[in-house]
Amino acid sequence: MQDTARISVSSLQNTLLETWQNYYQLTKPRIIPLLLITTAASMWIASEGKIDPILLLVTLTGGTLAAASAQTLNCIYDLDIDYAMVRTRKRPLPSGKVQPRHALIFALTLAGLSFGLLARFANLQAALLAMMGIIFYMVVYTHMLKRNTPQNIVIGGAAGSIPPLVGWAAVTGELSWAAWLLFGLIFLWTPPHFWALALMIREDYASVNVPMLPVVEGEEATTEQIWIYSLLVVPVSLMLIYPLGVCGVVYGAFAVVLGAIFLQKAWVLLKNPEDLPLAKSMFKYSILYMMVLCTGMVIDSLPITHHMVQACTGHLEALMGMVLSMS
Ligand code: HEM
Ligand SMILES: CC(C)=CCC/C(C)=C/CC/C(C)=C/COP(=O)(O)OP(=O)(O)O
């Protein structure tokens, strides 16, 4: 009797774990951490390094729920092409592990929880922006653009640029030029990020008639576009320092070094458009770039960083004074 009970408890545990894993995978969980890093960086800048930990927790939780809802809705809408593409056919919906109706209830519940959490414990602006992210991603990118134009991810990239707006609004209740610059930075970063990947999986997209740029215009045109957007990303990343003045020299060092590597990779890819390992390297670096750049924003915003920079500046001025007095 006891053995039977033990077996049924164990099988129930396994079933629950498997169900959790299936719904977890529906949310495309590996993408969400970078969305949250851009949100957190925005919050640290907006709060000038003195962030409220509860507000940070609430906003990142609300952002996670919203992104999870958006990605689940995207999986429901794209069930047909996800089933056909090699890269996506093992996802929970095309593989039949989760039913679309249950996924829809899951996604709408996540969106409701996100809105409630952000509206109650952050503010209405952050909650509405998170919902805007879901709606823009689903209506503009997934429904209107993805299957119809090679500019799909350029315009649709605005969805993935909304998280820092949510973070900024959560801290300040409004959207300043700096918030929109962070939006613009991710907006311009998205094409190099995704088109480098799309170069590697263009046959997959061609098999389901999704007009990604490499499918429609080929590798050369795609690597040219990656180069052009990369040339825009780097100066825009420096605009946080000048003219906006919300980041300082520490962030500047991150932005210059990371940006130089970004441009170098984009340039080499431009000269070798059919080199898929280079495309893979560019895709992976695009993620590292955004991750470390946002880390630089956070470090730069900390009060201790400002004190250290001021101390160094003071020592440098004293040294310069000594050198000048000796000459
Ligand atoms: C329209 C805009 C975007 C498109 C079309 C896009 C597309 C993709 C695709 C297809 C993948 C491969 C995922 C997989 O096969 O499971 C991917 C990976 C990834 N994306 Fe993007 N992406 C976009 C914007 C963003 C944004 C805004 C971020 C974060 C700020 C982001 C972060 C990531 C990360 C971290 C990965 C790696 C996930 C992994 O390691 O498997 N993406 N992206
Ligand atoms: C505030 C808020 C919730 C904003 C939304 C942020 C968000 C979910 C961005 C997703 C960007 C992305 C990875 C798109 C890929 O979709 P795809 O359909 O091209 O990818 P797939 O082919 O791998 O399914």
Quote the ligand 2 centre to 310 CA distance (angstroms).
Answer: 41
Helix axes 53-77, 2-26, angle to 10 degrees: 90
Predicted ipTM of the assembly? 0.96
Residue 245: what pLDDT? Answer: 93
CB 309 within 8 A of CB 248: yes
Residue 51: what pLDDT? Answer: 94
Residue 180: what pLDDT? Answer: 98
Q: How far apart are CA 306 and CA 49, in angstroms?
A: 10
Closest residue to atom 9 of ligand 2, CA basis: 160
Per-residue tens of pLDDT for the chain, all 327 residues = 778 888 788 888 888 898 999 999 999 999 999 999 999 999 999 999 999 999 999 999 999 999 999 999 999 999 999 999 999 999 999 999 999 999 999 999 999 999 999 999 999 999 999 999 999 999 999 999 999 999 999 999 999 999 999 999 999 999 999 999 999 999 999 999 999 999 999 999 999 999 999 999 999 999 999 999 999 999 999 999 999 999 999 999 999 999 999 999 999 999 999 999 999 999 999 999 999 999 999 999 999 999 998 898 899 999 999 999 888
Q: Quick: pLDDT tens for 139-170.
A: 999 999 999 999 999 999 999 999 999 999 99
Residue 212: what pLDDT? Answer: 96
CB 40 within 8 A of CB 56: yes
Q: How far apart are CA 198 and CA 208, in angstroms?
A: 13
Burial-class residue 212 by CB neighbours within 10 Å (0-12, 13-18, 19+): buried
CB 305 within 8 A of CB 250: yes
Ligand 2 contact via 204 beta carbon (within 6 Å): no
Quote the ligand 1 centre to 321 CA distance (angstroms).
Answer: 51
Residue 10: what pLDDT? Answer: 84
Q: Where do the H-state alpha helices sit in the chain?
A: 2-26, 32-46, 53-77, 79-84, 100-121, 124-135, 152-160, 163-172, 177-200, 202-207, 213-238, 249-271, 276-301, 303-326
Q: State the closest ligand 1 atom to the C-alpha of 287, by its place in the atom list counted from 1.
A: 35
Q: State the closest ligand 1 atom to the C-alpha of 201, by its place in the atom list counted from 1.
A: 10
Residue 294: what pLDDT? Answer: 98
Residue 11: what pLDDT? Answer: 85
Q: Quick: pLDDT tens for 178-228.
A: 999 999 999 999 999 999 999 999 999 999 999 999 999 999 999 999 999
Q: How far apart are CA 69 and CA 3, in angstroms?
A: 40
Q: Residue 208: helix, strand or coil by DSSP?
A: coil
Ligand 2 contact via 166 beta carbon (within 6 Å): yes
Residue 1: what pLDDT? Answer: 74
Ligand nearest to the CA of 68: 2
* Residue in 25, 28, 207 to alter for ligand 2 test, most ligand atoms within 8 A of Cβ: 28
- Cis-peptide into 192, omega within 30 deg: no
Q: Residue 88: helix, strand or coil by DSSP?
A: coil
Ligand 2 contact via 118 beta carbon (within 6 Å): no
Q: How far apart are CA 278 and CA 301, in angstroms?
A: 34
Tell me which residues have their CB closer than 6 angstroms to ligand 1.
Answer: 28, 30-31, 34-35, 38, 87, 141, 153, 156-157, 160, 186, 190, 193-194, 197, 287, 290
Closest residue to atom 36 of ligand 1, CA basis: 31
